[in-house]
Every structure is written in structure tokens, then in C-alpha cells.
Amino acid sequence: MRHSSQNVEEQPYKIIAVDDEGGIIDSLSVFLKRSGYQLTGITNPLEAIERVKNEHFDLMLLDFIMTPIHGDKVVEEIRKFNKDLYILLLTGHKDLAPPLETIRKLSIQGYCEKSDKFDQLLLLIESAIKSIEQMRIINQINSELTKSQEELEKAYLETIQTLRYTVEAKDTYTRGHSDRVSAYSVLIGKHMGLSEKTLKTLEIGGLFHDIGKIGVPDHILLKEGKLTDDEYSEIKNHPSIGKHILSNASTFQEIIPIVYHHHEKYDGKGYPGKLAGEDIPLLARIATVADTFDAMTSSRSYREPLSLSYVRDEIVKVSGTQFDPKIAEVFLDILDNHYEEIKAIQEKYKG
């Protein structure tokens, strides 16, 4: 990662001065040019607001008493869309400066009295430029760190996808299952009126809900007959394994509750946490319905898919024990009145 004050200093600092007296602007321009700075001078404060809105400036020198609006109102408008601009307020007399509370509220970094000599102002400008330079370096470092983090998480996501495909490759039942659970979960979420952000979490959580099965021995995962108690205990470890796999990347934090709790039951008799009712995360409660529906309507080594009427009766039967009754009601409505949406998912993700 390369960042240096030399890189930052290569970029010129843009200063804008706002004063309704043209003579002040002219004097500032001459003085600052002599000191090595380039200045954009504006006499209309309303025009200055628009200029800052459409062009980048690092520092603003702003007169306080102006027409048609005073400097504090200029800052108030600018802070609505720009929190970073460094502002030095100029006053004709210290008694005319706005209250300290106003200066703090508007994030005005400093002020000084106007004078025929600009020595004090120059010191404040030099101090401001140093602060701006430091912020540039910090922002550059943060940008590089963010980029590195995004690249790391992208690589991690690709690794998890590979693990998911590995699970699906060795278990014919799982193939397509995660895609359908993801799609059913999103469908339920849409009918519940959940936000786009939440639907995205449901989508990703559904895709990876069974990722922990990568840690289940093949002879158990692929067994066609009934599992022994010990084998079933091994299977029940997959939510914890999945949570462990995903816990090292911040990008997966929001889906971990789905992965870890999708086998909880509304009556508290599920696993791994034996959570009950609304103590079970909402998205996990949704995924539970989607997961169970797909299990019942998919082909297994020991049976054909169950009939829709049987599946519907089962959902009614376990509403309030295995399923959150409100979510079960939403899914029953989808089955009864929007079944074409279910069929579209099944057609898209055939096993």
C-alpha cells in the first residue's frame, strides 16, 4: 500500500473566497497568489453555494456579514451536501462573529478578524492546508484498506461458493436445494413486504444455509437408509460448522443467523440453540419454512416427492410448533393463490 505526503502534495489545493466586497476579493487574490495559492473569488454568496455544489474545493474563506444572506446561512446550506469542506470565517469585528455554539454546530473550523494585513489569515490558511493534507492521506489509506478488504471478501466468497458446489457435487439431493431454498425464502420475504436489503440477506443466506455439510462425513451424508442416533448427531453439527466457516469474513455476518438457526423450531425443540418463538431470528424462521418445503417436495433416495396436498396439510399441522404461524400463513397463501411463483422456481432450479 503506497501513500505519502508527496503523492498528496502533487494535487493542488483549491481555495474559494466569498465576500460581497469586490475589493476584499481582489486583495485576497493578490496576497494568496504571492504566497503560492490559487484562489477562486466570488462576491455573491448564493452563487458560491452552487459553485461548491458542482465543483471540488478544499478550503473556503467566508465573510460573515453579507447580502443577500450572511455567512452562517451559507455554511448551513453547504453542510447539507458537503460535510468535508474546511471553512474559515472572516469577520469585520470580533463582536460581529456568530456565537461559538453556531460555529461548532456548523463545523466552521476557525475564524479571524479582517485586517489590512493578512498575516494572521495566512497562518490560519497554512494550518488549514496541513489539516486538509492529513485528511487526504487518511482518506487515501482508508480507500486502499477498503479496496483490500473488498478484494479479500470477494476471494472468500468465491471460496465459500466452491465449498457449496463441493457439497452439492457429492450429494445429489443437495444439488439445486440451496438455490430453491434461497428463492423460496426471498419469495416469502417479498410477500411479507421486507426491504430489498433484507431480501438480499435472505437470498445469500439461503444459498449458504447448508454450507456446514462440508464437514459431515460422506458415509453419513450419502447414506440411503435410516441414520443411527450417532449419525444424526453428526448431521446436526452442520449449522455450527457453517457458522464457523463463515465467521471470519465481515461480509457474511448478516447471514450467519440463517445458517446457524435454520433448524430451530418455533416451540423450542429444534437445534442447535433450542430457541423458541421470536427468539429465533426472523430470517432463520423464514428459511426454515423454505428448507422444509423443499425437503418435502424433492426426490429422496428413499421416496418420491410428497404430494402438494400432503405438504400443505403438514404445514398447517406444524404451524406454531415447527414453524412461526405468521410465516406459515404467508406461505400457505402463496401455495393457494400464487402457486405459479413456486412452479417457476422449481422449473428454474431442477435438481
Give the residue numbers annotated as catalytic, written as ranges: 213
d(CA 188, CA 192): 6
Taking alpha carbons only, the member of 313, 312, 319 closest to residue 334 is 312
d(CA 124, CA 101): 20
Within a 10 A sphere around the Cβ of 343, how many other Cβ atoms? Answer: 10
In degrees, rounded to 5, the angle at the alpha carbon of residue 104 between the alpha carbons of residues 44 and 142 is: 90
Q: How many residues does the chain have?
A: 351
Taking alpha carbons only, the member of 320, 324, 346, 344 closest to residue 192 is 324
Whether cis (ω within 30° of 0) applies to the bond prior to 281 is no
Q: Is residue 14 helix, strand or coil? A: strand
79, burial (CB in 10 Å: exposed 0-12, middle 13-18, buried 19+): middle
Q: Is residue 163 helix, strand or coil? A: helix
d(CA 285, CA 272): 14
Give 80's contacts (C-beta < 8 A, 6+ positions apart).
none
In degrees, rounded to 5, the angle at the alpha carbon of residue 254 between the alpha carbons of residues 252 and 259 is: 75
Cell numbers describing residue 92: 469585520
In three-state form (DSSP H/G/I as H, E/B as E, the rest C), the secondary structure along 57-78 is CCEEEEECCCCCCCHHHHHHHH
Strand order in the sheet with 86-91: 38-42, 14-18, 59-63, 86-91, 110-113
Q: Which amino acid is at 235?
A: I
Q: How many CA atoms lie within 13 A of 183 on its CB side?
A: 16
